[in-house]
Amino acid sequence: SAYEGMPMCVLEALGCGVPVVTTRVGEVARVVHDGVSGYIVGDRSAESFADAAERALAALPAMTGEASVTAASDYVPARVLEPVFDNYRRIASHGRQQSRHMKEGEA
């Protein structure tokens, strides 16, 4: 891809324990580490992709599994959404407190 933020297909592959060969696009460098969870190619040529794919296949036992899963672990739904849920809980709690104060003022 030439234009992406954090491609879901990269996170999904890594989350399944599969290393990734990708271009340097968006935030992929946060999760794809050369020789650990895949390879990032410098240019978009077929030769670069083929070379990186061959290196990934040769190193597959080391990159498959835990190394790839760990690379994507910060992007699991529970971790990504926790700050959103915390904010909703804070807002809901604040709303309940204001409502309680209003009722007490009416009494």
Q: 37-51, 67-81, 90-104 — which is least confidently predicted?
A: 90-104
Q: Which comes out higher in pLDDT, residue 7 or 3?
A: 7
Confirm if 23 and 41 have CB atoms less than 8 A apart: yes
Q: Does position 47 have pLDDT exceeding 80, yes or no? A: yes
Q: Does position 60 have pLDDT exceeding 90, yes or no? A: no
Q: Rounded CA gap, 71 and 29, in Å?
A: 10
- In the numeric block, the tokens 């699991």 are attached to 76
pTM value is 0.69
Q: Does position 99 have pLDDT exceeding 90, yes or no? A: no
Average pLDDT, integer, range 15-42: 92
pLDDT at 102: 66
Q: Does position 46 have pLDDT exceeding 90, yes or no? A: yes
Percent of the chain at pLDDT > 70 equals 88
Q: Rounded CA gap, 12 and 100, in Å?
A: 45
> Would you place residue 68 in the very low, low, confident or very high pLDDT band (cuts 50, 70, 90)?
confident
